[in-house]
Amino acid sequence: MTKILLTGVDGQLGFELARSLAPLGELHCATLSGRLPGGQPCLPLDLSKPTAIRQVLDEIKPQVVVNPAAYTAVDKAESEADLAHGINAVAPATLAAWCRQHNALLLHYSTDYVFPGNAGRPWREESVTGPLGVYGASKLAGEEAIRASECRHLILRTAWVYSARFANFLLTMLRVGRERDELRVVSDQIGTPTTARGLASISAVLLARSAQFGADELGTFHCTHAGQTSWHGFAEAIFRQAQQAGMIERAPKVQAIASSDYPTPARRPAYSVLDNRKLTDVHGLALPDWRIGLSQVIDELCTVAR
Ligand SMILES: NC(=O)C1=CN([C@@H]2O[C@H](COP(=O)(O)OP(=O)(O)OC[C@H]3O[C@@H](n4cnc5c(N)ncnc54)[C@H](OP(=O)(O)O)[C@@H]3O)[C@@H](O)[C@H]2O)C=CC1
Ligand SMILES: Cc1cn([C@H]2C[C@H](O)[C@@H](COP(=O)(O)OP(=O)(O)O[C@H]3O[C@@H](C)C(=O)[C@@H](O)[C@H]3O)O2)c(=O)[nH]c1=O
Ligand SMILES: [Mg+2]
Name which residue sits closest to atom 14 of ligand 2, judged by CA: 169
Q: What is the pLDDT of residues 222-261, one digit of tens each?
A: 999 999 999 999 999 999 999 999 999 999 999 999 999 9
**Does residue 99 contact residue 218 with C-beta atoms inside 8 Å?**
no
Helix (H, G, I), strand (E, B) or coil at 121: coil
Measured from the alpha carbon of residue 110, the closest ligand is 1
* Nearest to 66, CA basis, from 33, 19, 114: 19
So what's the pLDDT on residue 54? 98
Taking only the tens place, the pLDDT of each residue in 139-180 is: 999 999 999 999 999 999 999 999 999 999 999 999 999 999
Q: Does domain 3-163+193-226+274-288 match CATH 3.40.50.2000?
A: no
Q: How many residues does the chain have?
A: 306
Ligand 2 contacts CB of residue 27 (under 6 A): no
Residues annotated as catalytic are 135
Ligand 2 neighbourhood includes 169 CB (under 6 angstroms): yes
Q: Quick one: pLDDT at residue 242?
A: 97
Residues contacting ligand 1 via CB (< 6 Å): 8, 10-14, 32, 45-48, 68-72, 87, 109, 111, 139, 158-161, 166
Domain-wise residue ranges, the chain: 3-163+193-226+274-288
297 pLDDT exceeds 90? yes
DSSP 34-73: SB-TTS-B-EE--TT-HHHHHHHHHHH--SEEEE------
ipTM of the complex as predicted: 0.98
Per-residue pLDDT tens over the stretch 93-105: 999 999 999 999 9
Q: Quick check: CB of 63 below 6 Å from ligand 2?
A: no
CB 72 less than 6 A from any atom of ligand 2: yes
- Distance of alpha carbon 145 from alpha carbon 143, whole angstroms: 5
Q: Determine the residue of 132, 231, 264 to mutate for testing ligand 2's pocket, defined as the one with the most ligand atoms within 8 A of the Cβ atom.
A: 231
pLDDT at 304: 74
